Amino acid sequence: MIAGVALYAGEGSKTDGQVNFANSDPKQVALFGHWLRTLFEIDEARLRVRLYLHEYLDLAAAIAFWSQVTGIPPTQFGKPYRAKADPSIRQAKHVYGCVGVAYGCSRTHRAIMGLVRGLLLAEARDFPKR
């Protein structure tokens, strides 16, 4: 449980009303999905995915890849963001892009943020003062 809370604290959306998690690392995305489904009662039909993918990369391959990683069917994928490559910014590109997983549920988001606050407060108390 703590690993998922820490992961969401770093990579999840803090905006009320929707659980959002974005990352390009399939292992982190898979961990988030497993954590979300294990700790909370999730309506699978309400899960959504959005891809951020450079325009020259294979969209169909990315959808198939992320669908397998997330366990969310391609029919629940929204319109992808296709980025124009800027070679001056970055040389390494993620072959399957970056994925954002969204779950629209205020109750679940508030429960997650309560866990995040609890974790961060507990950690703050344990750190030595300088």
> Do the beta carbons of residue 57 and residue 93 sit within 8 Å?
yes
Between CA 129 and CA 48 the distance in angstroms is 43
Residue 125 falls in which region: left (phi positive, over 0), alpha (psi -120 to 50) or beta:
alpha
**Is position 102 within any domain?**
yes
> Do the beta carbons of residue 85 and residue 94 sit within 8 Å?
no
One-letter amino acid of 12: G
β-pairing verdict for 47-54 and 98-103: antiparallel
How far is residue 110 from each of residues 1, 12, 13, 27, 125, measured CA to CA in Å? 16, 12, 11, 25, 22
Between CA 63 and CA 40 the distance in angstroms is 25
Between CA 119 and CA 129 the distance in angstroms is 18
Between CA 48 and CA 72 the distance in angstroms is 8
CA angle 109/26/46 to nearest 5° reads: 35
pLDDT for residue 54: 85
**Is position 64 within any domain?**
yes
- Per-residue pLDDT reduced to its tens digit, 43-91: 999 999 999 998 888 999 999 999 999 999 999 999 999 888 766 666 5
> Do the beta carbons of residue 16 and residue 102 sit within 8 Å?
no
- Per-residue pLDDT reduced to its tens digit, 2-44: 999 999 999 999 888 899 999 999 999 999 999 999 999 999 9
Domain range for 90: 2-125
Structural domain total, the chain: 1
**Is position 55 within any domain?**
yes
